[in-house]
Amino acid sequence: MATVDNTQQNNVAEPTNNSTESTPVESSQ
C-alpha cells in the first residue's frame, strides 16, 4: 500500500507543479 501511495503522490505532485508553472508562463508570453 505504501508503494502505491508514494507512486500516486509523486505522479500527482509532478504534473500539478508543471501545470501551475506552465500556465503563468504561457499566459505571460
Q: What is the 3-state secondary structure (H, E, C) of the chain?
A: CHHHHHHHHHHHHHHHHHHHHHHHHHHHC
How many Cα atoms within 13 Å fall on the side-chain side of residue 21?
6
pTM > 0.75: no
pLDDT tens digits, 8-18: 555 555 555 55
The pLDDT, as a whole number, for residue 25 is 59
- Here the cell at position 20 is 501551475
